Every structure is written in structure tokens, then in C-alpha cells.
Structure 1
Amino acid sequence: MPGGEIRFAASELEARTFSALREAGADEASAGAATRAMMHASRLGIDSHGVRLAAFYAEALRSGQVNGRPAPRLHRTGAATATLDADRGLGHLAAYAGMEAACDLARESGIGAVGIVRSTHYGAAGAYALAGAEAGYVAICTTNADSLVALHGGKARFHGTNPIAAAAPVAGSKPWLLDMATSAIPYNRILLFRSLQRELPAEVAADPAGEPTRDPFRAEMLMPLGGRDFGFKGAGLAGLVTILSAVIAGARPDHLVPPMNPEDGSLPQAHDIGHFCLAIDPERFVGRAGYDALMAQYLEGLRRAPASQALAPGDREWRTLEERERSGIPVDPDTARFLRLA
């Protein structure tokens, strides 16, 4: 494989990942949720947030930065709202629980929103939006994070990568699925490119002086979505995610969150970030039959639009899923060694 990647069956990766987290101190529910989210990413080709993160989570568990045996507490605050205290556990467990609660609220009220606090890194945001869509709801999930991204025109880190994920059910087909960082790329892609000895794309990262660099080993910070000329768009969206995920729920804003990967050699501090889960029931608006019909019309028109390659969000990922089910999931050498696959 290019870059030294080798492929493994999904079942083997899933078992090894779950076992590694359990050995690191995660209880069964936490290890199961984290493995489910990482396998979602690895199956769909989001390798920066796939099983390569298992070593990172295991280290966080062993250091005590993340609570391996949390007792999450859900508090209903209104007809369609709730908050969830994640008890510093793996963010995957909290986010799946938050989206499930949002769907329960939407089932009752037509819409459900859950703010999650005292949580930690939760990997690929799309995993939780997809869970909502698979339950029949239009779903949105966001998270803030520790500072890694410069402001537009900035020379220092301020926002986290602050992803926005959304998913919508499609009758008789895989859901429409969007999962995007508000930075030009996620930070984990820099770490992946370091492992693979690959050069970064242009204008996605900056060196310590704030100048763009393609060298993953010199990358000190990420640039906001839109790059040097249009980064105000990514920076604005990152701010919206901070408001939804942290401010309204009561978690720490990005620039006050201790780094998960301290570069000064100090021990990592307890994390405290927030997530936001929103579920909307189409039945309470246009009705399920109307929704299904209009969604089909929309996607048919989108895919027939004049373009070199007209794809709906999620189309590429579902194709990757099919390919990897046949040929296995590629794993970088560092992750293969950690999972005892090499």
C-alpha cells in the first residue's frame, strides 16, 4: 500500500481496538462506544479519526486525563431540551447518549436538543449525526475542542477544529451525511501524515510564525476553512460551534481548554469540552411521506446536475464503505504496531 499502509478486516480491527481500550481502563460501555465511533470513521474512509486514535485514547485513559468508568447524568430541562454531564468519560459514550436522548425528545416534541458538558474528544462527529438519521431524524452534532486553529489572519491558535456534522434519512438508501471540520483539515490528519511521511496540501496548516507550511513536522497550527483569503468563513463557523457546544451548555470555550497533547512535556490536565446534539422529526413538519418524496426529488436533481462528478454528502463515504468491506481497511504502521497487528 502507498505510504506503508496495510489492510485488515473490519472484524479484526474492531476486536483489537475494543481490547486495547479495555486494557487501558475503559469500562465495557465506554470501550464499546469509542470502538463503534472509530470503526465508523475507518469504514467510511475518515482515517484521521478512525482506529489510529486508539493509542491516543488509551494513553488518555492510563494518564487519568479521561475517566474510564464514568457515570453520565442526564437532566431534562424542558419539553425539548436536556443537558448531560459526561463525568469526564470518553466523549464517544456521551455523544451517543446525547443523540439518543435528543431523538427521544424529538419523538415527544418534534425537536430535541441536548447540551453535553465535562466531556472529552469524541472523534468523528458524523458518527453521532448518523446515529440520529438511522433512528429516522434529521440530526446535527457539534463539538468544541482545545485551541489548534488560528483566526482568519491570526498568528496563534484560538479555536478548536470544531466540526459540524449533519445527517438526514433517505428512504430506501443510505443517509445524506455531512461531516466537516471548520478548520481547513482536522489536526489528526497532520499526525496521520507524519506517520505516513506525506506532504500536506497547500494552505491548510501554518508554522510557529503563522506562515503556511506543507511540512507536517513544522505544522504548529491549522488554518481555518477557506484558507488565507476566505478563512473568515471557517473562523465564523468555528465560533458558532463554540457557542452551541460550550457556551449555552456551560463547558469551557476553546481557548480555555487545556491541550490534550501538551507540547511542553507537561502532564495533560483533565479535559472539559462540550458537545451539542439536535434531532428533528420530519413528521412534525412536512410529514414523513412528504419528506421522503421531497428528499428523493432533491437528491435526484443534485446527482443529475451538470458537473464532472455530482455527489451528495455521504456518497463518497458509502462507496468507500463498500470498497473496504471487500478489500479491508488500511491502517498506518504506527497504529498496526499499537494494535499488535504488525
Structure 2
Amino acid sequence: MPNISGKAAKQIIKGALLKENVEPQAAEYVAEGLTSTSLRGVDSHGIRLIHHYLAGVKSGRINPRPVYRVEKKLPTTALLDADNTFGHAAGQEAVKIAMEMAAEYGSGQVAIKNSTHFGAAAYFALEIASHDMIGTSYTHSDSLIIPTNGKRSYLGNNPVCFAAPVKGEGPFCLDMATSIITFNAVRRLREMGEAAPENVGTDKDGIPTTDPNEITMLLPVGSYKGYGLSLMVEILCSMLTGMNYGSHISKMFENIDQKRHLGHFISATNISGFQEIDTFKERLAGLLNELRSEPPLNAEQGVMVAGDPEKKKYLSRGQDGIPLTDNEFQQFRDLNQDYQLDVEIDCG
């Protein structure tokens, strides 16, 4: 498989967005969000999505030059109207607001309305954790998960993300969808001609299948527990924002000329309100390292904690580049040429 460097990918993504009249800060947020996600190994929500986002700008779904509006009724809460711009941009604007409130009052919670797909939830929680706070981020999505004892999808595979700073390494980060795999991962399996794992998705009749071309619905992680988590996120992202919920949310890859009006929820917690920050980071490092030192069932793999695989991928891909299929690599070449960006792309 050919590789593209993170630097080249970001330059092409940002350059293409700017050529489509996207506001420069929004373009930076999207380019950084997609590139950092791919560098962390989360390909389903990384650079491959730029083509979908560009189509959304051209069709009118995504507002390239938003005017944000913030409503605050209490010192530690805010409602951000994203004006139908990129979810990456809306989320990072909310991160700034949440951290400002947390710095002054101890915590900050921001609900976001009138947004679009915001990519990987980790992009926002990790930004908060990089400022020595605890960050969480959530979003809802279109109907994909079958509720327990149901036969058709209703809720999205709404992700949960929690990040916290650690001494001597990058933040701890748990970023999980409430389905076993995401639908973007299913789409990538289709493109690569590979089978899906068993018991992750079903066909239109609710029958489990490993054929990604037949998968139309996803199974929740942990059965009714994943279903419950998805409902929790739906409450945060729909009920607190006034946005649509469940099966009323428009599909990501259908009717691309229609605005999606998605909701997200982001929070920041000031650690110093509970513990000295350095003490917290040192103790968390001790906890994680003790877990990693636990006797492994498989000596070749060892015990890991959430975020460890992504940290390893970030190091290797930062050096070797982001692997793409031949088709994906050609699409980046086409973007580079079509938008006359003249970015040097090395095929690794």
C-alpha cells in the first residue's frame, strides 16, 4: 500500500478547503483533525473523509464561513450554535469555551447545535487534556444501532471519549463508539474488498453477516450496555441542544445537499480543583504503568490501556506516513492536481 506523509496530507486537505472558500481557521481545524486522526491509526475517521466534506461544501450542506453564536445562562454551561459548519471547527470552538469556563469556575460544559459530522471524538478531548484538564466529548449520529430485542436500527453508534493528562507520555484517551465497529469502517472494508468480523453488523432483515456490502445496521458493544450508553449520549447531544434524535437524524451519506443539524457535547474539568495537577499526572502514570506490567495472557502482546495502540501508530506513521489504498492515494493526487496545490507527495 502507498503511504502519504502527514504533512503532505494536511497541506492538501487545507489547501483544497481554502480553494473552496472555507474560512481559514475552520480549514485548519478540519485539516488537523483529519490528519491527526489518521496518524493515530483511526483510518475510518481520518483523511479519507475529505472528499465527503468537500462534497458537502459544494452541495450546501456545510457552511464554509460560519458565524458562531454562544448563549450562556450559567457560569459553567454554554450552548454554541455552529451555523451548520464543519463539526471539527465547531468542536474546537466549544473546546476553547469549555476550557475558559473550567479555568475560572472549575468545569465547563458546552452543548453544540446546528453542526455536522465532527470526525473522531478524541480530537477534542485530547486538546483539553493537552492543557492539563480532563476532557470528554460526545456526538450522536444517524440511525445505525439495533436496540436490544429490536429488529431495526434506531440510535446512532454514538461515541464516548474521555482524556486525561499523564506524566511522561501523551494523554490517556478512551475513544469508543457504542457499536463494535463504526459504519465508516464498514465502508472502508467495502472499498478494500475485505470481510467484516463476525457479529458486528446485520443485513436489512437483522441477520448477522460478515459481508460489508450487506451490512446496513450495527450491533452494540456489550449488548444492552452499549445500547444504554448510546441512549445516554443521545440525551446529551439531542435533548440539551434541541436537535433531532435517533431515526430522525439525516443520514451522513444520503441527501448530501440537506443540512444535518447535528448536536455534540464537550466538557472540561479543572484537575486543580481536586488535586495538584503534577500529583494527578504522576499517579495516573503509575496506575497505567502498573496495568501494563500485569502478567499477560499472551506474552507477545502484553497488557495495554486505552489509547496505547493509537500512541504506537502515531509514532510509526509520523515516520513512515499514512497507508492508503491505491485508489485513496490516487484521489489525493487528483486533489493536489485539481486544486493546483503543488504539494510534494512521496509514495512510500
Q: TM-score, normalised by structure 2?
A: 0.91
Counterpart position of 2:286: 297
Shift of 1:35: 1.0
What code does the residue aligned with 1:258 have?
S
Counterpart position of 2:244: 252
Paired residue for 1:77, among 58, 73, 98?
73
Residues 179-236 of structure 1: per-residue CA shift (max 9 Å, x gap): 110111111001111111111011111111111111111111111113xxxx111110
1: CA distance, partners of 2:121 / 2:20: 23
Deviates more, 1:17-26 or 1:118-127: 17-26
What code does the residue aligned with 2:231 have?
G
1: CA distance, partners of 2:257 / 2:154: 18
Deviates more, 1:175-184 or 1:328-337: 328-337
2: CA distance, partners of 1:164 / 1:90: 19
Counterpart position of 2:183: 187
The answer to whether the Cα contact below 8 Å between 2:138 and 2:237 also exists between their aligned partners in 1 is: yes
Paired residue for 1:277, among 266, 270, 275?
266
Q: How does 1:166-205 map to 2 (within 5 A)?
A: 166-205=162-201
2: CA distance, partners of 1:333 / 1:246: 39
The answer to whether the Cα contact below 8 Å between 2:4 and 2:329 also exists between their aligned partners in 1 is: no
The answer to whether the Cα contact below 8 Å between 2:168 and 2:285 also exists between their aligned partners in 1 is: no
2: CA distance, partners of 1:332 / 1:246: 36
The answer to whether the Cα contact below 8 Å between 1:24 and 1:59 also exists between their aligned partners in 2 is: no
The answer to whether the Cα contact below 8 Å between 2:238 and 2:245 also exists between their aligned partners in 1 is: yes
1: CA distance, partners of 2:198 / 2:294: 29
Counterpart position of 1:16: 12
Shift of 1:173: 1.4
Q: How does 1:1-342 map to 2 (within 5 A)?
A: 1=1, 6-226=2-222, 231-262=223-254, 268-307=257-296, 308=298, 309-340=302-333
Shift of 1:268: 4.2
Q: 3-state DSSP class of the match of 1:16?
A: helix
Q: 3-state DSSP class of the match of 1:301?
A: helix
Give me the CA root mean square deviation.
1.5
C-alpha distance 240-57 of structure 1, shift in aligned 2 (>3 A): same
What code does the residue aligned with 1:255 have?
S
Q: 3-state DSSP class of the match of 1:320?
A: helix
Deviates more, 1:61-70 or 1:44-53: 61-70
Unaligned runs of 5+ in 2: 335-346
The answer to whether the Cα contact below 8 Å between 1:259 and 1:268 also exists between their aligned partners in 2 is: no
2: CA distance, partners of 1:305 / 1:111: 34
Residues 151-203 of structure 1: per-residue CA shift (max 9 Å, x gap): 12322121112111111001221110111101111110011111111110111
The answer to whether the Cα contact below 8 Å between 1:114 and 1:277 also exists between their aligned partners in 2 is: yes
2: CA distance, partners of 1:267 / 1:126: 25
2: CA distance, partners of 1:80 / 1:139: 14
The answer to whether the Cα contact below 8 Å between 1:75 and 1:84 also exists between their aligned partners in 2 is: yes
Shift of 1:312: 1.7
What code does the residue aligned with 1:120 have?
T
Q: 3-state DSSP class of the match of 2:151?
A: coil
2: CA distance, partners of 1:161 / 1:21: 28
Residues 99-157 of structure 1: per-residue CA shift (max 9 Å, x gap): 12111111011111100011110000001000000011010000011112211232212
Unaligned runs of 5+ in 1: none
1: CA distance, partners of 2:110 / 2:125: 13
Deviates more, 1:215-224 or 1:124-133: 215-224
The answer to whether the Cα contact below 8 Å between 1:20 and 1:54 also exists between their aligned partners in 2 is: no
The answer to whether the Cα contact below 8 Å between 1:48 and 1:192 also exists between their aligned partners in 2 is: yes
Count of residues paired in the alignment? 331
Counterpart position of 2:344: none
What code does the residue aligned with 1:246 have?
S
Q: 3-state DSSP class of the match of 1:157?
A: coil
Q: After TM superposition, where is structure 1 displaced by more than 3 Å over at least 4 residues in a row? A: none
2: CA distance, partners of 1:72 / 1:96: 12
1: CA distance, partners of 2:86 / 2:313: 27
Shift of 1:40: 1.4
Counterpart position of 2:338: none
The answer to whether the Cα contact below 8 Å between 1:261 and 1:268 also exists between their aligned partners in 2 is: no
2: CA distance, partners of 1:242 / 1:103: 23
